[in-house]
Amino acid sequence: MSKHVMEAFEERASRARLGGGAERIKAQHEKGKLSARERIELLLDEGSFEEFDMFVQHDCHDFGMGEKHIPGDGVVTGHGRVDGRRVFVFAKDFTVFGGSLSRTHAGKIAKIQDLAMRVGAPIVGLFDAGGARIQEGVDALGGYGEVFLRNVLASGVVPQISCIMGPCAGGDVYSPAMTDFIFMVKDSSYMFVTGPDVVRTVTNEEVSAAQLGGGEIHTTRSGVADGLFAHDVEAMSQLRRLLSFLPSSNRESPPRRKSLDPVKRVEPSLETLVPDNPNVPYDVKELILKIVDEGDFFELQEDYARNIVTGFARMDGMPVGIVANQPLVLAGVLDCDASRKAARFVRFCNAFSIPLVTLVDVPGFLPGTSQEYSGLIKHGAKLLFAYSEVTVPKVTLIVRKAYGGAYVVMSSKHIRGDVNYAWPSAQIAVMGAAGAVEVLHRRERDDAEAMGRHVAEYEDRFLNPFVAAERGYIDDVIAPGETRMRICTALNMLRDKRLENPSKRNGNIPL
């Protein structure tokens, strides 16, 4: 091949790698943002990125677009490796037409979505975009449809992770919404169906981009996002960490690692974790960190529905999904938001064969008109449906309270919990002693001495784990310090578990 041909090739490739040009990349940096290719370099193992469609250009000729062609057409796509494992990635390039989506831009994304499903590898999307390319009209809308369809088809087949790293609106938020996890970057990323200008025109409401769809909003109020990172570098580092817990596809088992944390490690401090007074809270995250491998816990939606904790950890090197009631917030009750948050996480774990460890301290469902009007019945049923449907190994530990229907919902033996343990501090009952006595002995309500006696009798009879253990609903009452060892042993025993649900097209979860 002649030197001239090679020089022309190198020049064209260099021009394509610059996207919208050095000035626009500089503008990205001045906003505290990295370019699309810089983000990919941080996400993937060094030198592993194989780019596709670098020279693709749009074919639109309306509104002067025939004179504007930039190689790559606003999105960088390809595959590489994270910790040596294959990952497909696309990164919207804001320096090219604001990252807006055209028909050919969508085709690039759809191509790697198809490949990822074919070979069985995760898809990571890095979003920094201005929505549909208006000049293309229905072609752009059709392109979104092609991407959306593949989001749905890939769901439960390969993990899909979205990171919002700039302004995203319209179609560029619907696609992330159908992926498994959404993360945002503080002060530089926004998500909304319609932006502040449209809101102002339609509703006369004055609202800033941050107030409408900033990272703080979506990680604390809407629950749309699973986490908020300080900057692009932290975002890419944490995405690598998340991928380390996940299998490449539903055809594989989660990646097991050799752990230096002894399985038989005893934690005597757990014996004093639960206060003697059942109304005094404690932090369930202390329990989580003390029983998982090396205290490594990747929490999801940390600032949303904080009365329940969800995230990934390892036990004896095996990835597990943790679901735990949080007594520090609303006493750990289940409400609409907590039920939805946990149900979605439980279903993800089941889709990718990740065992579930459930830590229970729940006084029930949150009462009140606000919850009832918000649909607590159906939202609570989502979690019940999710736990009942899953077939992965399920190990449950009742730490303190397990009252009423919430006891059943939180992976009880009655909905196919495989191994169910309780600490001696566990209280398994229809309701707390005071409330139960109010119902059972209402005629003696004005007799304080008698009511006190009845409360003591109820506590002695029911507020312990042994009634449930006598009936086989609890497999064993265990010493708190031995919790890690017992859960690890149960998970190892369940490693080859096989369970199939009745054949059906799909269940009808109460959405």
* E-strand stretches of 41-109: 50-52, 75-82, 85-92
Closest CA to 494 of 384, 426, 423, 418: 418
- As a whole number of angstroms, the longest Cα–Cα distance in the chain is 103
Other beta carbons less than 10 A from residue 471's beta carbon = 9
Other beta carbons less than 10 A from residue 509's beta carbon = 13
Contact status, residue 353 vs residue 330, Cβ threshold 8 Å:
no
- The pLDDT of residue 94: 87
Crossing angle, helix 138-154 and helix 103-119, to 10 degrees? 10
Q: What is the CA radius of gyration of the chain?
A: 26
* 23 has pLDDT over 60: yes
Other beta carbons less than 10 A from residue 380's beta carbon = 24
pLDDT digits (tens, 9 = 90+) for 379-409: 999 999 999 999 999 999 999 999 999 999 9
Catalytic residue among 405, 450, 479, 481: 405
Report the SS3 class of residue 106.
helix
Confidence of residue 54 (pLDDT cuts 50, 70, 90): confident
pLDDT digits (tens, 9 = 90+) for 205-236: 999 989 999 999 999 999 999 999 999 999 99
What are the tokens at 160? 């899909």
Other beta carbons less than 10 A from residue 281's beta carbon = 15
Is 223 annotated as catalytic? no
Lowest mean pLDDT among 98-112, 242-256, 472-486: 98-112
Q: Which has more confidence, 350 or 469?
A: 350
Contact status, residue 361 vs residue 397, Cβ threshold 8 Å:
no
Confidence of residue 186 (pLDDT cuts 50, 70, 90): very high
Catalytic residue among 170, 214, 380, 404: 170
Contact status, residue 148 vs residue 94, Cβ threshold 8 Å:
no
Contact status, residue 75 vs residue 113, Cβ threshold 8 Å:
no
Contact status, residue 86 vs residue 119, Cβ threshold 8 Å:
yes
Contact status, residue 286 vs residue 273, Cβ threshold 8 Å:
yes
Is 406 annotated as catalytic? yes
Confidence of residue 464 (pLDDT cuts 50, 70, 90): confident
Q: Which residue has the tokens 């085709």?
A: 107
Q: How far is CA 225 from CA 153, 220, 221, 243, 311, in A?
A: 21, 9, 10, 17, 14
Query: Which DSSP string corresponds to 284-321?
Result: HHHHHHHHSGGG-EEEESTTSSTTEEEEEEEETTEEEE
Is 170 annotated as catalytic? yes
Contact status, residue 96 vs residue 70, Cβ threshold 8 Å:
yes
- The pLDDT of residue 458: 74
Query: Which DSSP string corresponds to 14-41?
Result: HHHHTTT-HHHHHHHHHTT---HHHHHH
Other beta carbons less than 10 A from residue 91's beta carbon = 25
- The pLDDT of residue 102: 81
**In this structure, what DSSP letter does residue 440 have?**
H
Annotate 326-361 with b (16+ C-beta within 10 A) or e (fewer).
bbebbbbbbbbbbbbbbbbbbbbbbbbbbbbbbbbb
Q: How far is CA 357 from CA 17, 354, 437, 466, 506, in A?
A: 46, 10, 33, 21, 25
* 445 has pLDDT over 60: yes
Contact status, residue 257 vs residue 101, Cβ threshold 8 Å:
no
Helix (H) or strand (E) holding 163: strand 160-164
Helix (H) or strand (E) holding 42: helix 36-43
Q: Which has more confidence, 20 or 116?
A: 116
Q: Which has more confidence, 133 or 371?
A: 371
pLDDT digits (tens, 9 = 90+) for 263-311: 999 999 999 999 999 889 999 999 999 999 999 999 999 999 999 999 9
> What average pLDDT does range 491-510 have in this prediction?
94
Report the SS3 class of residue 164.
strand
CA 290 – CA 296 distance, rounded (Å): 9
> What average pLDDT does range 163-179 have in this prediction?
92
Catalytic residue among 20, 74, 99, 171: 171
* 10 has pLDDT over 80: no
Helix (H) or strand (E) holding 422: strand 419-422
pLDDT digits (tens, 9 = 90+) for 34-45: 999 999 999 999
Q: What percent of the chain is predicted at pLDDT more than 70?
A: 92
Catalytic residue among 129, 351, 386, 406: 406
Q: Does the predicted model carry a pTM greater than 0.85?
A: yes
